[in-house]
Amino acid sequence: MADEVVEGLKTKFGDAIKDVYEKSRRRTYITVDAARLPDIAEYCYKDLGCRFQICTGMHLEHGFEILYHFAMDRADRIINLRVILDLEKPSIESIARRVPAAEWIEREMWELLGIEFRNHPDMRHLLLTDDWLEGNYPLRRDWKDWRGGEHDTSE
């Protein structure tokens, strides 16, 4: 089943499919061109009938990695679409208008990692307060608590 999905993606999206890594029978990672990610995500969601699970982001030394996790429930497979974004100005087109379940997680990644999701339908704070210092992203590797002092985390 994974081979059919990968071949279908390669046929439909050509050069936008950069790399394929099959970690196991159930999990495939597909690195895609960030500019084509919205089209590819929509295809997985609408045409392949995948269920959007979540997306995860990581601040790496060379950029930001986002993994969009799609479940093919009937086939017992997870398709992970992977993009790498620029380290200095991480930005990508939002998939939330095409895959509505992505709306909250994109907001969370914007707040915590500082990734810009262009054309997001409702980009406002989700977890952090509205007075949170702009440009201060707690999940970045270089984050330093801007409030200073020690904090009681026992609550």
Domains of the chain with bracketed CATH: 2-90 (3.30.460.80)
* This prediction's pTM: 0.89
Could you give the percent of the chain with pLDDT greater than 90?
Answer: 78
Q: Give the pLDDT mean for 145-154.
A: 55
Note the pLDDT of residue 149: 47
Q: Give the pLDDT mean for 111-139.
A: 92
Q: Give the pLDDT mean for 125-146.
A: 85
Note the pLDDT of residue 155: 52
Cβ atoms of residues 85 and 91 within 8 Å: yes
Note the pLDDT of residue 130: 87
Flag whether pLDDT at 42 surpasses 70. Answer: yes
Beta strand segments in the chain, E = 17-24, 27-32, 51-59, 64-72, 77-85, 91-93, 116-118
Note the pLDDT of residue 136: 87
Confidence band, pLDDT 50/70/90 cuts, at residue 143: confident
Note the pLDDT of residue 115: 98
Q: Which residue has the higher pLDDT, 2 or 7?
A: 7
Which H/E stretch holds residue 111? helix 103-113
